[in-house]
Amino acid sequence: MPVTLRALETAVPETVLVQSAVRDVFAAQPGLTRLGQRLVATSFDHSGIETRYTAVEELTLTRRSEEPVFFDAGSRCILSPSTKVRNDIFAAKATPLFIEAAEKALAACPDLGPGDITHVVTVSCTGFFNPGPDYKIVRALGLEPSVQRYHLGFMGCYAAFPALRAAKSFCEADPHAVVLVVTAELCTLHVRSSNDPDTIMGSSLFADGAAAAVVTARDLPATSTALVLDHFETVLTPVGEESMAWNIGDEGFEMVLGTYVPHIIDDHIVGALDPLLARDASLYGQPYRDITHWAIHPGGRSILDKVEAKLELTQEQLVPARSVLRDYGNMSSATVMFVLKHILESPFGGVDERICSMAFGPGLTVETGLFTKTGAATAGTVAAPADAAAAAAL
């Protein structure tokens, strides 16, 4: 039996960040140079983001605290807590997100229960604690204590793909396996005020969110729609090691996101797809443009622009990625799962539809995945009318 992604659910914190309001606060911080102020305005205004979510309640920008940690609503100053303080908050705030996403994914599979889960794979690059989120999920969902647990840490925005690839391998080795993959990131824990262009870019893009998937080779219920996990590939570009990185500093984790990254993707994205498409006999020798659905990690608006232009995709094909970027921002490893969920839930004509997905991260690493959307047909066309309208707006 093919290995399928049976359910894909997401979760976000309650606090909403409005991009224009956050921009004004960052632009007004003491110590910013005129160039820094211009960079803040440009980065926030051209991000393609309208709203994001954060686990840091103080970043509502109006909530007053007697002992502020991240933001002093009285002085309107962004503060710089230590890495330890930020990581302690990660342990407290990430755990509920991991659990919520996992519970929703399992609940979306009515034929499966806690006793069916054989493996748990968790993902995050924005904090550490042990016993970790894999342990917390087992306890909270009442999974068997013998469940095999794995955690992929500090890989970056592409880490959902290694997690799904591992899940696929587990299911191929044991056809009865049921793998729960859960990724959660609290990127906003690491925002700070700075004149550094990379730091400003990160502050304008990154957000918090979680996603969970149930992966298995067990029989698919007749009324279900699922994603068949066809193939995964990894490619390291010959350049870019210094252009994208994720380092640990004294005042949080520090993002390196150079302006040259979109150019690296532009130069190497076609070559990065070759190993993936060569794995599939039905696609070998055919142009990648024949693939209908594209689940691109929205690392930023300029990256999506480069992908769209280089691969000659239509505006409609980038709607899932641009919609997620607009409404949620860049949630690191969880983001591409949001994009896949958007495609999975779009109307489906009943004929198996191919999906090509990719994410980018430190290295520069390009992870790619090929999926087949299959299962029960739904009314409508491949692109919903709402998606067409969204494409026109974007």
Give the active site residues.
Answer: 157
Whether residue 133 contacts residue 127, with contact meaning beta carbons closer than 8 Å, is answered with no
Q: Give the tokens for residue 259.
A: 């302006």
How many CA atoms lie within 13 Å of 243's alpha carbon, on the beta-carbon side?
17
Q: Residue 250 class from Cβ within 10 Å (0-12 exposed, 13-18 middle, 19+ buried)?
A: exposed
Residue 15 backbone dihedrals phi, psi, to 5 degrees? -80, 125
Interhelix angle 319-328/301-310, rounded to 10 degrees, is 180
Residue 383 backbone dihedrals phi, psi, to 5 degrees? -110, 120
Interhelix angle 335-344/160-173, rounded to 10 degrees, is 60
Whether residue 100 contacts residue 160, with contact meaning beta carbons closer than 8 Å, is answered with no
Query: What are 356's strand-pairing partners?
Result: 294, 370
Query: Which whole-number Å values give the CA distances from 235 to 71, 135, 169, 170, in the listed order?
Result: 40, 31, 19, 22
Residue 269: enclosing H or E segment and its boundaries? helix 261-278
Instruction: Output the CA angle 22-27-28, nearest 5 degrees.
Output: 100
Whether residue 302 contacts residue 175, with contact meaning beta carbons closer than 8 Å, is answered with no
**Single-letter code of the amino acid located at 363:** G
Residue 19: enclosing H or E segment and its boundaries? helix 19-27
| 293-296 and 252-257 beta bridge pairing | unpaired
Question: Residue 283 and residue 294: Cα distance in Å, rounded?
Answer: 15
Q: Is 85 helix (H, G, I), strand (E, B) or coil?
A: helix
